[in-house]
Amino acid sequence: MQKRVLGKSGLEVSALGLGCMGMSFSYGPPKDRKEMIGLLRTAVERGITFFDTAEVYGPFTNEELVGEALSPLRDQVVIATKFGFDTTVDPRAMKGVGPVLNSRPTHIKEVAEASLKRLNIDVIDLFYQHRVDPDVPIEDVAGAVKELIQEGKVRHFGLSEAGVQTIRRAHAVQPVATVQNEYSLWFRRPEEGLLQALEELGIGMVPYSPLGKGFLTGKIDETTTFDSTDFRTSLPRFTTEARKANQTLVELLGAIAVEKNGTPAQIALAWLLAQKPWIVPIPGTTKLDRLDENNGAVAIELTPDDLKKIGAAASQITVQGERYPEKLELMTGR
C-alpha cells in the first residue's frame, strides 16, 4: 500500500483509509463484532494504516469496536475520531428533529477523555469537529483542541464539512491537518473553492463517501431494497427514481473499468487519488472482498487524458436528488 502525507501536517497514512461507521451504524443492523474485529486487523495486514470513527457512530459502539480491534496494533495505525454532537440525543433522531450539535470547549474535552477510553489509546491521532456548530465560535473550538494537543491527548486537528472561511479562521488558531468532506464523482462541490483553499493553506483532504454511499460500485440500482435501519432510505439521492436516473454515471465508470481492467469502484477511487497527492479517500466496507477490491484502486493509473475524458463525460451528467434531507444539508459547508 502506498503512503500519502495529509498536507503540511506531517501526518503520513496509507493512500486509502477505512471508514468504520457502517460496521456499527447507519447501513442496516450492526455487523457481527468478531467478524468486524477480524476485518479491521486484516486491513492492517493489507497495509491500511488510517481508520476513521466517531463517538456518534452507535453512539459509542463503533469507537469501542475500533479500540478493541486496533489497540493491540497501536504502533501501526492512525486513528481519527470526531466530536461535535450531543450524544444524549439519540442520533437516529436525525430522521425527525435532526441531530443536536455541541462543540462547547468543555464538551470537546469531555468527548476527548471518553474517546480515549473507548479506543483504549493514550492519544487521539486526529480529532475532527464532526459538524460546525453555529453557536460556538470556531476560534473557541480550535482553541480547545489546541489545548488538548498541548496536553498530549490529541496529535492533529481536523474539520468535517466546514466551509472555506471557517477553515481559515480555525487554521489561524490551530493548524488544521485535514478536512473531511464528501467528495466523489457524484458530489464535486469541493472543486468550487475548497480544494484550492486547502492547497493554499497546506491542508490535506479526506473524502468520505468516495463511492457515493455504495452507489458508484455498480451494485445498486432502482430494484435494490434497503433495510429499514439503513439511513439511505431517508436520502433524496436514493429514491427509486434518482437511482434509476443516476445509473448513467455508473455506466461511465463501468466503461472506463473495462478499459483499465478494473471495477467501477476502483475507477471512482483512482479518480479521487489522481486529483491531488494530499487526498486520502476513506471508503467504508464490512466485507473482505470489497476491502481488497478498493485497495486495488491504488494500482490503477489514470493518465491526464483519462482524467480529461472522465471529467468531460461526467460534466455532461446531472446527478439527480439532493445528497441529504434539508435539515442535514444545512449543517454542511458552513
Q: What letter would DSSP give residue 202? A: T
Q: Does residue 128 carry a catalytic annotation? A: no
Please classify residue 246 by burial: count the beta carbons closer than 10 Å to its beta carbon, then call 0-12 exposed, 13-18 middle and 19+ buried.
buried
Tell me the C-alpha distance between 90 and 227, whole Å: 19
Q: Which residue has the cell 479521487?
A: 272
Cβ-contact 160, 115 below 8 angstroms: no
154, 209, 89, 321: CA torsion to nearest 10:
150
Tell me the C-alpha distance between 51 and 24, whole Å: 14
Strand pairing class (3-5; 12-14): antiparallel
Mind giving me the DSSP string for 12-23? EEESS-EE-GGG
The identity of residue 151, as a single letter, is: E
Strand extents, DSSP E, 56-198: 78-83, 124-129, 154-160, 176-180
Please classify residue 101 by burial: count the beta carbons closer than 10 Å to its beta carbon, then call 0-12 exposed, 13-18 middle and 19+ buried.
buried
Which 3 state secondary structure label does DSSP give 332? Answer: coil
Nearest residue to 44 (alpha-carbon basis) of 67, 78, 10, 68: 78
Active site residues: 57
